Amino acid sequence: MALRIAFFGQAPFAKDILVRLLEAGHDIVGVYAPPEGKRPDPLAEEATARGLRLLRHRYFRLRTGHAIESRVKEHAQLGAELNVLAYVTAIIPPEIVAAPVHRSLCFHPSLLPKFRGGNAIPWQIILGEHESGVTVFQPDAGVDTGPIVVQKGGVEIAPEDTAASLYYDKLYPLGVEAVCEAVDQIDRGTARPRAQDESAASFQGLVDDEVARIDWARPAGELDGLIRGCDPQPGAHTTWHGDPLRCFGAGRVPGEAGAAPGTVVEVGEAGLVVAARGGRLRVARVRVGSGAKQAAAEAGLRAGDVLG
């Protein structure tokens, strides 16, 4: 069997899922990707190369009812039996989400109902979670609250993991498998969606610069998670001689702080060692002001400098 699928997404993750669904024989009746930007979008490029119908909208719900109706009508004309939301940042209206006979499947990079929200990966590291995984669910009116179709866990969040390594090395490949498995279950009629356990639910907002601000008086373990969770974006930040300083490549260093929190106690090829409450942190790379990211040892910081 095969399904008529309207596909929503962006980036290599969505492209890889699109290729897998095509290889499985599904009919991709439309591909929704973001508008053209400074860099080509891999999903849009793949859709164009394969001659698929490509639809590029920044927003689906606009100010006028007519604009909403035009998006809904456009989607209805595709005749999709299922929507697949592989990597979507735009808000898809319920008139589209619920339209196909099999409704929609949506990917989320956490073990729902924990870590709902748009920055689930950074928050798992920031808050010290030890295990991660991926979920494919049927979206409803809430934020990441719909019934779960496929969930895969058992992913260790290692002490050295950043948001980037957790996603690209671990959750990305697992997520591709999970989405394809969920589509296959829908196609075969074997899907058994189950409600999320609201008693275990948590929701976190976006990781913005306020969240990413380093307070050197916080415990060293918390700051280690904050810096790794904000790596590569937005970059946990402090100040140095009045300039913003963003920190990347954090890790714990054995031993006591040995100085007031925020004091640079060592500079070497491996980076800066900074005192924090109850311990020390190593910072491998920094970005000073609006400059380029560079090795911390090359940025001009010296032992004795005080950050923040």
In this predicted structure, what is the pLDDT of residue 65? 54
In this predicted structure, what is the pLDDT of residue 67? 62
Which of 75, 87, 78, 89 lies closest to 28 in space, CA to CA?
78
Beta carbons within 8 Å of 218's beta carbon, 6+ residues apart: 226, 276, 277
Copy the structure tokens of residue 218: 């916080």
What is the b/e burial string over 281-291, where b = at least 16 CB atoms within 10 angstroms of the residue's CB?
Answer: bbbbbbbbeee
- Mention the CATH class of domain 4-200: alpha beta
Please state the domain extents for the chain. 4-200, 220-298
Residue 175, burial from CB neighbour count under 10 angstroms (0-12, 13-18, 19+):
buried
In this predicted structure, what is the pLDDT of residue 66? 59
Contact criterion met (CB below 8 Å) for 6 and 84: yes
What is the Cα–Cα distance from 165 to 249, expressed in whole angstroms? 11
In the 3-class helix/strand/coil scheme, how is the chain assigned residue by residue?
CCCEEEEECCHHHHHHHHHHHHHCCCEEEEEEECCCCCCCCHHHHHHHHCCCCEEECCCCCCCCHHHHHHHHHHHHCCCCCEEEECCCCCCCCHHHHCCCCCCEEEEECCCCCCCECCCHHHHHHHCCCCEEEEEEECCCCCCCCCCEEEEEEEEECCCCCCHHHHHHHHHHHHHHHHHHHHHHHHHHCCCCCECCCHHHCCECCCCCCCCCECCCCCEHHHHHHHHHHCCCCCCEEEEECCEEEEEEEEEEECCCCCCCCCEEEEEECCEEEEEEECEEEEEEEEEECCCCCEEHHHCCCCCCCECC
In this predicted structure, what is the pLDDT of residue 68? 72
Contact criterion met (CB below 8 Å) for 14 and 87: yes
Fold match, 4-200 / 220-298: no
What is the Cα–Cα distance from 43 to 25, expressed in whole angstroms? 18
What is the Cα–Cα distance from 263 to 276, expressed in whole angstroms? 8
In this predicted structure, what is the pLDDT of residue 62? 62
In this predicted structure, what is the pLDDT of residue 1? 79
What type of residue is 126? Answer: I
The residue with tokens 């998006």 is 71
One pLDDT digit (tens) per residue for the chain, 308 residues: 799 999 999 999 999 999 999 999 999 999 999 999 889 999 999 999 999 999 999 888 665 555 677 899 999 999 999 999 999 988 899 999 999 999 999 999 999 999 999 999 999 999 999 999 999 999 999 999 999 999 999 999 999 999 999 999 999 999 999 999 999 999 999 999 999 999 999 999 999 999 999 999 999 999 999 999 999 999 999 999 999 999 999 999 999 999 999 999 999 999 999 999 999 999 999 999 999 999 998 999 999 999 99
The reported pTM is 0.95
Do β-strands 27-33 and 54-56 pair in parallel, antiparallel, or remain unpaired?
A: parallel
CATH number corresponding to 220-298:
3.10.25.10
